[in-house]
Amino acid sequence: MRADPMPLSDQAFQAAPQAMLIVDPFEDRLLKVNLAAETLMGGDADQLNARPFSHFLSASLPLWVTFSDEALTRPPAWSDDLVLLDLGRQPHRIEIFAVPLAEGSRLLLTLVERDKVERRRSQADLSRQHRSGKVGWQRIEQVFERIERQNQLILGAAGEGIYGLDAEGKTTFVNPAAERILGWSSSDMVGHDAHRLFHHTRIDGSEFPVQQCLIHASFSDGQVHRVDDEVFWHKNGEPVPVEYTSTPIFEMGRLVGAVVLFRDISERKQGEQRLRDALAEVGSLKRRLELENKYLQEEITAELNHSEIVGESPAVAQLIRQIALVAPTDANVLINGESGTGKELIARAIHADSSRGDRPMIRVNCAAIPRDLFESEFFGHVKGAFTGATSDRLGRFELADGGTLFLDEVGEIPLELQGKLLRVLQDQQFERVGEVHTRKVNVRVMAATNRDLHEMVAAGTFREDLYFRLNVFPIASVPLRERIEDVPLLAQHFLKRACQKFNKPGERIPLAQLEVLKRYRWPGNIRELENIIERQVIVSQDRRLIFDDLLSAEPGPGARTSLPTVTQRAPLPEQELSRRQRDNVVTALMQSAGKVSGAGGAAELLGVKPTTLFSRLRKWGIEPADFKARDRTS
């Protein structure tokens, strides 16, 4: 037979987690205990019920009396002063709650062990604290995560490359800019020795020992190191010029690595290089301008002398036609003719009428260059190329770049240099002496000679290929004796200039004297005519230029040596003697190119003391500087 199930209220009483007792305070009897009470009081219901309730109270009995009275009269009653003794007489500090049951003489007691409650409470406090601590910690974590995210954003956005190293030099993190600049990905770098990966070699190809690396120095000396001129190596093997700052990282006072911030300075380097190149260019342009200026000064003088080609002879007409024909082309021109016939004047006229006319025409007198300086003169040299080459020097080809180079006396160029000259004429390329770098120029070349180059080619002293290169457009400069009809015009032309030059206006050449000039053979050509007129302007005293002596003089090979000698036909009046003496001094000054004293000076030529000559010059108002050589050598 199945036992009747326990009523639900009894089940609840039994299962309650607190110790529950029903007592009769008047009878001092324990009527009923639940399981939790049995556990607390250390015995089963029978054992417990067998004892008066006061047995379990001992010293707390007086308190119980007042408490139970309160519970019966002013329920509910609560106390935490009672101490309960279990069956084993072990005390338990309890918190007690009492209500009277319906009968009115019984009390339902609910007991809680204070020690357990306090333990639970402190545990609850702890877990409460723990829970609230965890939340706090989670908050802190979130803050850190946010900072970390911000840091990542900053690292990601930074234009500079940034990477971290641990104390062994292994990469700990890399930002995207570092990946981009170096070509290595984060996975290539993190955990690997950064120095070995991309900092192992210097720009000159020499090994870069890690002991000398200032990034690594930060680990040992704890200092910030800045370097502004080194290279890192891109993954593709190309050097990346960088500047960087290596900052040590301390953790708890201990050096644990470094963070490196670097920047690609290729553009800065290129900028610096461009600046250096520009400065070098400015330097070379400055030198070039100085030289050009010197040449331009000469050109101004030349221009004064050569502004127009004077003459009406068929030879001059033909010449002018040829000049007009060849000037606009870039063809090389070879001008052939006796000395003093106007070869340079022709070259200047061609240059002036060409598209290069606003650039200088650089003249080189090949007869005036010492043999061993030819190459340097033409192509320039670099400092130290040979003894005496104390600085870089531009050659004539560079100087004439964009303009015209006029090689006067081209027949004098040594055979060994003719090949090099030919190369420039063909390729417009050359190297300075002592330099391997090839330079390119754009130069038109004109040449002049009074020698028969054709004959020189046959004799093997002039390269045939060079001759053909130069002789693209030949022009013959006709001797004055073959265009004698031009003499009067030329004489008037030079007279006008000489009058201006020596400030002697109003000088004139009588018609009969022009005839004298036309009868002379002019071995020194137009230069001789020019010189004679100048000399006569200087010496003339009655504004009439007389050339009678010209025809009686022995014509020499050139203008200066063909000057008339003083003839002795009859005793001379004092005035004439003085004129001739003055004449003679002028001749000497012309021969010495205005030099008065010293070797080859006019005083030496005349056999007088320089002081004597100086005082005579002062007396006659003659200025030696007017006789300075106009036959410019370079």
User: Which residues lie near ligand ATP (CB under 6 A)?
Assistant: 305-306, 309-311, 337, 339-345, 408, 448, 450, 477, 490, 493, 526-527, 530
Q: Which is nearer to ligand ATP, 401 or 408 (CB)?
A: 408
Q: Structure tokens of 481?
A: 């004796």
Q: Structure tokens of 37?
A: 């009470």
- The DSSP bridge pattern shows strands 361-365 and 239-251 to be unpaired
Q: How many residues belong to the chain?
A: 634
Q: What is the smallest separation between the CB atom of 525 and ligand ATP, expressed in angstroms?
A: 7
Q: What is the smallest separation between the CB atom of 577 and ligand ATP, expressed in angstroms?
A: 32
Q: What is the smallest separation between the CB atom of 448 and ligand ATP, expressed in angstroms?
A: 6
Question: How many C-beta atoms surround the C-beta of residue 26 within 10 A?
Answer: 10
Q: What is the smallest separation between the CB atom of 456 and ligand ATP, expressed in angstroms?
A: 16
Q: Structure tokens of 160?
A: 């500079």
Question: How many C-beta atoms surround the C-beta of residue 74 within 10 A?
Answer: 8
Q: Which is nearer to ligand ATP, 345 or 563 (CB)?
A: 345
User: Does residue 314 contact residue 341 with C-beta atoms inside 8 Å?
Assistant: no
The residues, ordered by sequence, that sit 6+ positions from 286 with a Cβ below 8 Å of its Cβ are: none
Q: What is the CA radius of gyration of the chain?
A: 61
Q: What is the smallest separation between the CB atom of 367 and ligand ATP, expressed in angstroms?
A: 9
Neighbour-count burial for 602-629, b at 16+ CB within 10 Å, e otherwise: bbbbbeeeeeebeeebeeeebebeebee
Q: Which is nearer to ligand ATP, 264 or 299 (CB)?
A: 299
Among 192, 179, 170, 152, smallest CA distance to 264 is for: 179
One DSSP character per residue, 223-271 reads: --EEEEEEEEE-TTS-EEEEEEEEEEEEETTEEEEEEEEEEE-HHHHHH
Q: Which is nearer to ligand ATP, 34 or 591 (CB)?
A: 591
Q: What is the smallest separation between the CB atom of 351 and ligand ATP, expressed in angstroms?
A: 13
Among 448, 477, 496, 480, smallest CA distance to 562 is for: 480
Q: What is the Cα–Cα distance from 262 to 440, expressed in whole angstroms? A: 41
Q: Which is nearer to ligand ATP, 94 or 334 (CB)?
A: 334
Q: What is the Cα–Cα distance from 106 to 334, expressed in whole angstroms? A: 151
Q: What is the smallest separation between the CB atom of 202 and ligand ATP, expressed in angstroms?
A: 59
Q: What is the smallest separation between the CB atom of 526 and ligand ATP, expressed in angstroms?
A: 4
Q: What is the smallest separation between the CB atom of 408 and ligand ATP, expressed in angstroms?
A: 6
Q: What is the smallest separation between the CB atom of 307 and ligand ATP, expressed in angstroms?
A: 9
Q: Which is nearer to ligand ATP, 143 or 317 (CB)?
A: 317
Instruction: Decide: helix, strand or coil at residue 316.
Output: helix
Q: What is the Cα–Cα distance from 72 to 273, expressed in whole angstroms? A: 108
- Cross-strand bridge partners of residue 22: 32, 108
Q: Which is nearer to ligand ATP, 98 or 334 (CB)?
A: 334
Q: Is the dihedral of CA 449, 450, 451, 457 positive or negative?
A: positive
Q: Which is nearer to ligand ATP, 462 or 522 (CB)?
A: 522
Neighbour-count burial for 129-162, b at 16+ CB within 10 Å, e otherwise: eeeeeeeeeeeeeeeeeeeeeeeeeebeeeebbb
Q: What is the smallest separation between the CB atom of 338 and ligand ATP, expressed in angstroms?
A: 7
The number of angstroms, rounded, from the C-alpha of 549 to the middle of its chain's C-alpha atoms is 71
Q: Which is nearer to ligand ATP, 527 or 595 (CB)?
A: 527
Q: Which is nearer to ligand ATP, 21 or 447 (CB)?
A: 447
Q: Which is nearer to ligand ATP, 219 or 462 (CB)?
A: 462
